[in-house]
């Protein structure tokens, strides 16, 4: 039996040990700054608590070899705002830096404009960039379903006991 368990262990160890080793991120400087900024905007608009992730994206944008269509001075201000923990201002600055509101999910970023258009007011945040929380169903159906559920549980338990 001990031999059997050892066989288990060895197989699992070999399989896990055969996994490839981790390697560092590479080639981030080749990602266009425009893409990094759009991703940073999406993070701040959708999940503002993940400020570190947004800061990484902004940092990548500043390091990018391709800063076409991005106002780098505004990106620097946004980075400073993020370092101060001011996500709202950083979001506004990032939107202004690319002259665009996030508008639609960034699945296939279009070629960036040659120079960003200035934004005069904050972008409205579209619904799809916000998460929906775990809120109860609510309304009249909530009561009906809860009563039905209670009846099913009680009847089910009674029947199970009776049948046994």
Partner 1 sequence: MTTVEAPPEAPRTRRQRLFAALDERLGLSGLQYPVPEHANKLAYSLGGLTLITFILMVVTGVYLTQFYNPTVGGAHSSVRSIITSVSFGKFVRGFHYWGAMAMIVLIGLHLLRVFVSGSFKRPREFNWVLGVVLAGITATLFFTGTVLKWDQESLEALEHNIELGKILGKFGFWFSPSFGGVSILTRLYVVHIAVLPLLFVLVVAAHMLLVKRHGMAPSPFRKEPEPEPTRPFTKHLAELGALSLVLVGVLTILAVLAPPPHGPAPVAGIEVTKPPWPMLWVYPVEDWVGVGGILWATVAIFLVLFLVPLVDRGPERDPRKRLPMMIAAGVVVLTIIAFIIYAAVQPVASHIGMG
Q: Which residues bind partner 1 (CB under 8 A)?
A: 1-2, 4-5, 7-9, 11-12, 15-16, 18-26, 31, 35, 38-39, 42-43, 45-47, 50, 52-53, 57, 104-108, 127-137, 141-142, 145-146, 148-153, 155-157, 159-160, 163-164
85 Ramachandran zone, left/alpha/beta (phi>0; psi -120 to 50): left
Copy the structure tokens of residue 71: 């106002």
67: CB partners within 8 A, 6+ apart:
32, 33, 61
CB of 100 to partner 1, least distance (A): 14
Kindly tell me which of 21 and 110 has the beta carbon lying closer to partner 1: 21
Kindly tell me which of 73 and 155 has the beta carbon lying closer to partner 1: 155
Copy the structure tokens of residue 68: 């076409």
């Amino acid at each position: 039996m001990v031999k059997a368990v050892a066989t288990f262990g060895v197989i699992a160890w070999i399989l896990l040990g055969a996994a490839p080793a981790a390697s560092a991120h590479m080639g981030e400087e080749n990602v266009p700054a425009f893409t990094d900024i759009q991703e940073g905007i999406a993070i701040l608009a959708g999940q503002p608590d993940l400020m570190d992730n947004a800061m990484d994206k902004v940092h990548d944008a500043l390091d990018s070899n391709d800063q076409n269509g991005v106002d780098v001075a505004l990106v620097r201000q946004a980075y400073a705002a993020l370092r101060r923990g001011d996500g709202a201002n950083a979001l506004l600055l990032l939107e202004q830096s690319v002259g665009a509101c996030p508008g639609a999910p960034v699945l296939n970023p279009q070629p960036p404009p040659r120079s960003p258009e200035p934004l005069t007011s904050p972008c409205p945040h579209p619904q799809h960039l916000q998460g929906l929380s775990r809120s109860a169903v609510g309304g009249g159906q909530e009561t009906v379903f809860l009563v039905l559920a209670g009846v099913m549980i009680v009847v089910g338990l009674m029947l199970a006991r009776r049948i046994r």
